Structure 1
């Protein structure tokens, strides 16, 4: 199910805020433990959730405020989202929030939606990081400065974010359908808000909104991962317990959307490159029992390949793709269907085809197989999130916004109990044309209208207060995030065909097992002109084998709560597996079957190409797609047959249209093989059984094409500034690239790593380029830099980027080049080096706590012989750097006289 940030509900005016006075620190009061989530509270109204997981090496602090676009009043559209931006500025007591976040490293973000706003920080586990996060969140809860000077700069940033969304036809269509579907309720308003409201609101008005909603009695604090629970409670009492309960009382929102009394239609005519159809049905709050049944119905209708709508519309190639989603909301929600079609289709004819199929939903006779398949997929998704504690804590944001954290457990229980009768009931009740928004109003008589369901706070309390949940799972063992511990828990092996693998012994919550494999194949000569074939083939590896249909494969993976994904790029087939200890053997048997017995049905090839090309057609005039394509084409001029060639979007479309099934079969039989492969598996598995499982899956799988590592050609970048005009696009992109020769073994590599951090990549928007463009001048929503220095060759580059309003092109170009020139002329300071070194180290430590990082390090070691110790060695070399060395290396490799720059947008706008 797809989620897009869109809207909100009603604002209730309360008058002036009472003064908040400090009180003594207070120990949180224990309330309950629901499946490992421990609930506490403070007398000032703050709710606290602790979710310990010793197997993590990171922790997250996530604070959720019960305020979103639903609470905005007249003239306040977008205020909740704008306030989220402002709370990353500064506080009265601690000062610059972004600088502090940058200095600390780790990951941080804030998000706003219909019912809630949240802020979170992910750091390596330590008492110091925990204490700082809690102190900072308590300070910005009440003491944000919200200065007019900061607000004046942030207007352009938020407007730029608004404009990026305005370039997406599907997103704009969704917003317009929502605003048509909701007559009174604020869920019809976009969360990012009205551009005019954003630009005209004053800091004093924003502060009234802030002081009303940013209070302890309107917030839930979540701490999850590896942390000392007693110290966490101590810090919470110290910082949040000292905040007084506000004297104001938040009034409850009370607007209920009336029953829709006829089908509505909206037609959107504006710039864009893709054709889309959307349909919306009003449904129920997340707390309602029908919500789970409606979610399951979405799967039954749209899943590839078993969905009824999928078969009727996508299988028959009447449309390219279909998706549906139902957001997790406090008040009556909605179900949205999005349909994409290729440019050769008539959108008005397709609209009626979609309506015809939707009209059949209430009359379909659903089966037990339908329900069981949907339940398996949803439960798989629920458990996958639950067993990733950090993501689970952030995911709770939506559930808390919907009314109470326990609603997620209640939803899961409801899914488990679903029957075909439940599906039949909701299909008949909600899938009525008079409850749908697609087009124009048509009067009718004697309609059985669907009324919105209201849940009062008292009903929510009654529903959740005695809920205990399922039995607690056993606690997972701790795993230190370090290279030495990785080596200690690594077992290496070689399969009979020469493929290498590593088993990382680590207990993961829920008995989860993850695997990542890379299969380098063939050589540059045999792969010439076949890049597009490899791309499509990888997507078709799960569409059927000699013994199993696509539906059978997908059903079994869902039942095993597992996923298998393939991708082909360059000369590498990659495979990612997400499963559980008890399912690992069977899932790898399925993988083995896919790799040697796939059949590539003709109809699946046609559907896949249509889907790919429909997406690509929507990118034909997209500034971002064009910018990063053209910068590559301008700096690396390979012949068209080369695997390193960068095709234009239109060339990709044309190439995909020409692919034949026979080409896939030949590629599969002659190119693919595992004899040069490497892979890593992480989980609580035994070495002997794992070796046997991998041997059975890959051990006899070999390629007929001789493997030789293809190496790119070095092209010296040239000074160039080139514009590409994309008419009537609201957003623009600037990017510049400099090529140079370097490998990761180069003596200059460590210094260039930290130089890039200081110039454009490091910190939390505090590197020089983003600081100048976004923070100081407010002329770019996102700006920064990155570099690529390979392991096996010396073809390297450095690149900057910026997203902007087309009218700001001159200002962005000037500011970016000035910052680069200033760095080259004056160099960086000792303070900049020390600050960025600290945040860079913390970010690397955070990354090391990620299972995919561990697997990537092992795969790199197995494939290229890069010692695992190099991760620590690089850090040692960077820590030993002097600022003079960093400045010297920057001047050696970065030069404005060699920079190729590309600017894409409607620069004819005034």
Structure 2
């Protein structure tokens, strides 16, 4: 009763806070330091403020990080931090419905919870209005969230559904069980999503006590990044956050220290699933520890494809199909996790022993300078890639702040740069001992050298970071307006000697980054019949070796150049994406040219790739999502086997991959691949003449021997049907419905149909009708919505709705979804719905226009199909002029429940 009474007092005190704030004079944030472009300020109430300006962006992000996660949960509170994150998207006393406001404004918004922190962020097109609103909203929900019991009761099933989705992932569940065994006392052994029982039983007043304890300015950091007015940002922070008083409560520090593990542990997990996995955990260090960087680098040295020691002994020998590692960015002593996928034809217990035998060699292996150099290059490339994408950088900083201080990220980078093979040898010997490992039984042993975690106090973290200045500030990139007009003004196009069309978008990107996207359609439907499986595998083998370089040399050089090349083949088109830097563009494109003309496709790499793909596919054989989306396409299209448009079952795909021969790969490479019908776009601060020369050198003589004819899909009218697929013992289910119709993007009905889909299922931040009914009102689906596929070159269009659900809610979801569709068809939408969804749709498009991938997609579409850039704005004008009757009439014209094909996948035998 005492706690309930106290909670009531705190709740009442919040009601009057806004009037108190209005009487206080806004505070000007105090400048602290500037570390490599990250400008730190603080308020008297303890709030930390980080500004990361980048004028080359057209978007901005406001990201608030609270130093509270599953590490801070007590008995009966497992999952409370995550549940509270969901509740803060409900409503506040002053502003009202947060989710609706986010929906109306468009852009991107989310919240996440992890071991040491919770964060909320909004990415919007840059404007003073969006900046002010984001800061005001985050300040309001810091102290004025309503946290109503009625909202909490609706959210229980949503969070439970999210929990169940995770339960369908064998590798994820295995990792969770291993961690819970590896940790005796520390909360890092608990899943962040929490205990289903705790989640479902917690009361709103209990959740409020947790909220009022941790959601305070002295426990938070606000990050503002991208393009924004710095003075106004500081003004708004002072205006809205500065008036919140410093809380009188003192946060108790967590003090649980995990004892040294005193014997190897084993876990055997038996449950429904279609894949075999082995996982291994070693206790390691906190992010602040000097050993952390060395352990990260050692993880790369052990698992990297193709140079890793474990990769060579386990994957190349085909004992396993793949191996990966990860080490979380955490405040206290953490862990390193190795995940191994095992082909279904292997004995998983024999593989487990093979893995343990190879792990036993880690501490005694003699590592080389080349090992260290290779790992450093790869990690530094990743660090630079994140840093030079300011929006992602600001969001990614969440983890580092949760680990103790944002400057720890710079110290980590510095530590990586200074690594030596002696550092690698030291951590290998210190941490990679069998008595510090969990794969599974207690084994008595004498004279063990045990690994004891090192504790770091807050005072030590302050001492590590307080005087850190960082490297010299980088040159700021020039502003680039997110508009079609500006895109056209900075766009230059050309044509290579063999017909390849290309475009250069002149734009400075932070760090001198350069992005490129190429599309190479090849051959014709007849010549491609029965060959697309081989083409898909070929794309994955293009970096496995050439006549001049081994796979290892190729990957090493790309890492040293902080660059990446990605290939994908689908139906008729080879897609290539390149990420590099201005000074490395020429060399990276030369590497790409070598891959396209001199690849050798080693037999052992083909075998490994097929094994890896099929292991993944085997894990999907009874996955509701994979099964449902495959089946809905099979039900609504009736192409013959061999057609490039045919959708095989998952088992058919596995069987097809097993039959692929190296000779098929080589034949496709020599006789079908070629660039003479391709297009490509490059974004960066590059010289037009030298770019043309580089592209000519790369693609100008790369031609296909097969005649090119664009393949067009056939229209198949959908029929009313409902199909259930039972996936035994799966905790989650999927519902899909699809309607096909004839429409292309030039159709005068297209603008109205775009908005009809927005209002019905796709628009806003979960505010369209289908997600509002299924998730917000009834809480029977974790995620629901709709999407459209309206092509450019033909009229084979479709509309699809989806919902993820608990299998026991199938009937309720089916009824609710069909009722919402029927209601829309019968009564139509309102003018207010159309207006609000147009605003969020418009803002979302403006946000996307500030993304380099969108610019390249627009350029490639123009180059390939002749679609002018102005069509982007023209569509917006047409949509803006729409009347609600036009939208309603178009919806009725193309959608009908009598033509909807439905597929449901899940364990519907559950009670």
Q: TM-score range by the shorter chain?
A: over 0.9
Instruction: Report the Cα offset of residue 227 of structure 1.
Output: 0.1
1:324 equivalent to 2:336? Answer no
1:173 equivalent to 2:182? Answer no
1:264 aligns to what?
265
1:46 aligns to what?
47
What is the CA–CA distance in structure 2 between the aligned matches of 1:156 and 1:459, rounded to whole Å?
A: 42
| Secondary structure of 2:363's aligned partner | helix
What is the CA–CA distance in structure 2 between the aligned matches of 1:158 and 1:77, rounded to whole Å?
A: 13
Instruction: Report the Cα offset of residue 474 of structure 1.
Output: 1.1
1:148 aligns to what?
149
Instruction: Report the Cα offset of residue 441 of structure 1.
Output: 1.2
| Secondary structure of 1:502's aligned partner | strand
1:225 aligns to what?
226
What is the CA–CA distance in structure 2 between the aligned matches of 1:478 and 1:377, rounded to whole Å?
A: 30
Deviation per CA, 1:438-487: give whole Å up to 9, x if none: 11111111100000111100100000000000000011100000001001
What is the CA–CA distance in structure 1 between the aligned matches of 2:160 and 2:25, rounded to whole Å?
A: 42
What is the CA–CA distance in structure 2 between the aligned matches of 1:252 and 1:795, rounded to whole Å?
A: 60
What is the CA–CA distance in structure 2 between the aligned matches of 1:445 and 1:641, rounded to whole Å?
A: 63
| Secondary structure of 2:124's aligned partner | strand
1:548 aligns to what?
549
What is the CA–CA distance in structure 2 between the aligned matches of 1:524 and 1:557, rounded to whole Å?
A: 35
2:243 aligns to what?
242
What is the CA–CA distance in structure 2 between the aligned matches of 1:426 and 1:246, rounded to whole Å?
A: 42
Deviation per CA, 1:569-619: give whole Å up to 9, x if none: 010000000000000000000000000100000000000000000000000
Instruction: Report the Cα offset of residue 55 of structure 1.
Output: 0.1
Deviation per CA, 1:521-542: give whole Å up to 9, x if none: 0000000011100100000000
1:9 aligns to what?
none
2:353 aligns to what?
352
1:801 aligns to what?
802
1:759 aligns to what?
760
Deviation per CA, 1:378-419: give whole Å up to 9, x if none: 000000000000000000000000000000000000000000
Deviation per CA, 1:840-877: give whole Å up to 9, x if none: 00000000000000000000000000011000000000
The equivalences for 1:543-622 within 5 A come to 543-622=544-623
1:448 aligns to what?
449
2:296 aligns to what?
295
1:822 equivalent to 2:819? Answer no
What is the CA–CA distance in structure 2 between the aligned matches of 1:58 and 1:648, rounded to whole Å?
A: 41
What is the CA–CA distance in structure 2 between the aligned matches of 1:729 and 1:555, rounded to whole Å?
A: 41
| Secondary structure of 2:344's aligned partner | coil
Aligned positions, number: 899
What is the CA–CA distance in structure 2 between the aligned matches of 1:84 and 1:307, rounded to whole Å?
A: 39
TM-score normalised to structure 2 length: 0.98
| Secondary structure of 1:537's aligned partner | helix
What is the CA–CA distance in structure 2 between the aligned matches of 1:476 and 1:678, rounded to whole Å?
A: 27
The equivalences for 1:121-140 within 5 A come to 121-140=122-141
Instruction: Report the Cα offset of residue 223 of structure 1.
Output: 0.1
Instruction: Report the Cα offset of residue 24 of structure 1.
Output: 3.2
TM-score normalised to structure 1 length: 0.98
What is the CA–CA distance in structure 1 between the aligned matches of 2:248 and 2:891, rounded to whole Å?
A: 56
Deviation per CA, 1:467-517: give whole Å up to 9, x if none: 000000011100000001001000100000000000000000000000000
2:645 aligns to what?
644
Runs of 4+ in 1 over 3 A off after TM superposition: 15-24
Instruction: Report the Cα offset of residue 791 of structure 1.
Output: 0.4
What is the CA–CA distance in structure 2 between the aligned matches of 1:581 and 1:67, rounded to whole Å?
A: 40
1:686 aligns to what?
687
| Secondary structure of 2:27's aligned partner | coil
Q: What CA RMSD, in Å, does the superposition of the two structures yield over aligned residues?
A: 1.1
1:58 aligns to what?
59
The equivalences for 1:764-775 within 5 A come to 764-775=765-776
2:540 aligns to what?
539
Instruction: Report the Cα offset of residue 771 of structure 1.
Output: 0.1
What is the CA–CA distance in structure 1 between the aligned matches of 2:444 and 2:166, rounded to whole Å?
A: 34
What is the CA–CA distance in structure 2 between the aligned matches of 1:439 and 1:205, rounded to whole Å?
A: 37
What is the CA–CA distance in structure 2 between the aligned matches of 1:498 and 1:700, rounded to whole Å?
A: 10
Q: Could you list the runs of 5+ residues in structure 2 that have no partner in the other structure? A: none
Structure 1 window deviating more from structure 2 (624-633 vs 21-30): it is 21-30
| Secondary structure of 1:392's aligned partner | helix
Instruction: Report the Cα offset of residue 738 of structure 1.
Output: 0.1
1:736 aligns to what?
737
| Secondary structure of 1:621's aligned partner | coil
1:746 aligns to what?
747
What is the CA–CA distance in structure 2 between the aligned matches of 1:26 and 1:559, rounded to whole Å?
A: 47
2:408 aligns to what?
407
What is the CA–CA distance in structure 1 between the aligned matches of 2:895 and 2:151, rounded to whole Å?
A: 32
What is the CA–CA distance in structure 2 between the aligned matches of 1:585 and 1:318, rounded to whole Å?
A: 39
